Amino acid sequence: MGGLYFEDVEVGDSYTAGPYRVTKSEIIRFAQQYDPVPEKIDEEAAARSIFGGLTACGPHTFSIYILLTSQLQPRLHFLGGLGWDELRMPNAVYPDDELDLDLIVLEKRESRSKSDRGILRLRIILRNQRRETGA
Amino acid sequence: MGGLYFEDVEVGDSYTAGPYRVTKSEIIRFAQQYDPVPEKIDEEAAARSIFGGLTACGPHTFSIYILLTSQLQPRLHFLGGLGWDELRMPNAVYPDDELDLDLIVLEKRESRSKSDRGILRLRIILRNQRRETGA
């Protein structure tokens, strides 16, 4: 099984994935299921919203970020996520945006309770094709 | 248009939504699209994972939380989310779990730059049918 384990990763290492192209139909389909407010599923309502058009809902952007972390090359083996701090989405994601991901290792320490694993603190940035940060 | 606006909400107010029942097929379908690692999409691989079975991926849990915020009664009118701090998922979400949401208003202030809106700081808790906090 390829990919990187805790012991293979050093502070300062960085990895990238993407781009992922977000389509209008995916934006609408996702929002219909998980954020079914008019401005996320209807183009006319979206045009009148503060975003001026259809934009991906927050969990959709978050989902794309997770998808891209699963596409890092080489693969990083995660057992699970302990949490997220300072999750920010300063720029909306519009149809046909292309998102890529940068992951930087800020900190690593071995688990105090379980000797077969460790904990990484990561900085993860999504950017669109205009190089604006998305999350 | 019903629902609550900024001026209708006070610090200390709380709102609830749910329950939302999470099915196995929804867990697998979501992960196939956004977190396609073996332990999220395959029952045998999941049984060998640290969770001991299929569990909803992080963005799926996040999506259910957003869905429940859109189902609060009365509805709260949000223009957008500025961000999330301390997003934690201390307990896994398993098939047939039923999640409900508690939202508490911690702080409110008017926007400095835009007089027609304000900013709320919220504490939002997802709980399953065993009353464990999910996010």
| pLDDT tens, residue by residue, B53-107 | 999 999 999 999 999 998 998 888 887 777 898 899 888 999 999 999 999 999 9
CB nearest A63 (choices: B34, B37, B51)? B34
C-beta of residue B54 within 8 angstroms of C-beta of residue B43? yes
pLDDT at A21: 98
The answer, yes or no, to whether residue B122 has pLDDT greater than 70, is yes
Nearest residue on chain B to A78, judged by CA atoms? Answer: B37
C-beta of residue B101 within 8 angstroms of C-beta of residue B128? no
C-beta of residue A41 within 8 angstroms of C-beta of residue A25? no
Q: Distance of CA A107 to CAs A38, A112, A120, B72, Å?
A: 42, 15, 6, 39
For residue B73, give the H/E element and its range: none
pLDDT at B78: 82
Q: B76 is written with which tokens? A: 């709260």
Q: Contacts of residue A50 in chain B, CB cutoff 8 Å?
A: 79-80
Residue among B71, B87, B113 with most chain A CBs within 10 A, to mutate: B87
Nearest residue on chain A to B46, judged by CA atoms? Answer: A79
Helices (H) and strands (E) in chain A, counts: 4, 3
> Confidence band (pLDDT; 50, 70, 90) for A98?
very high
What torsion do the CA atoms of B51, B129, A64, B30 make, to the nearest 10 degrees? 80
Residue A47, number of CB atoms within 10 A of its CB:
12
Mean pLDDT of B109-129: 91
Q: Do A85 and B85 touch (CB under 8 A)?
A: yes
Alpha carbon distance B34, B40 (integer Å): 10
Q: Do A87 and B88 touch (CB under 8 A)?
A: no
Within A35-89, residue ranges assigned H as helices are: 38-41, 43-47, 58-69
Percent over 90 (pLDDT), chain B: 70
Mean pLDDT of A58-66: 95
At A67, phi and psi to the nearest 5?
-60, -45
The answer, yes or no, to whether residue B111 has pLDDT greater than 70, is yes
Residue B7, number of CB atoms within 10 A of its CB:
9
Cα torsion angle, B49, B55, B60, B62, sign:
negative
Residue with tokens 């209008």: A24
pLDDT at A1: 52
Q: Do B37 and A70 touch (CB under 8 A)?
A: yes
Q: Do B86 and A81 touch (CB under 8 A)?
A: no
Q: Which residues of A touch B (CB under 8 A)?
A: 30, 33-37, 49-51, 57-60, 62-67, 70, 79-89
Q: What is the DSSP letter of A87?
A: B
The answer, yes or no, to whether ipTM is higher than 0.95 is: no
Q: Do B36 and A67 touch (CB under 8 A)?
A: yes
Residue among A66, A85, A119 with most chain B CBs within 10 A, to mutate: A66
Q: What is the DSSP letter of A32?
A: H
Alpha carbon distance B94, B50 (integer Å): 13
What does pTM read for this prediction?
0.90
Residue with tokens 């083996």: A77
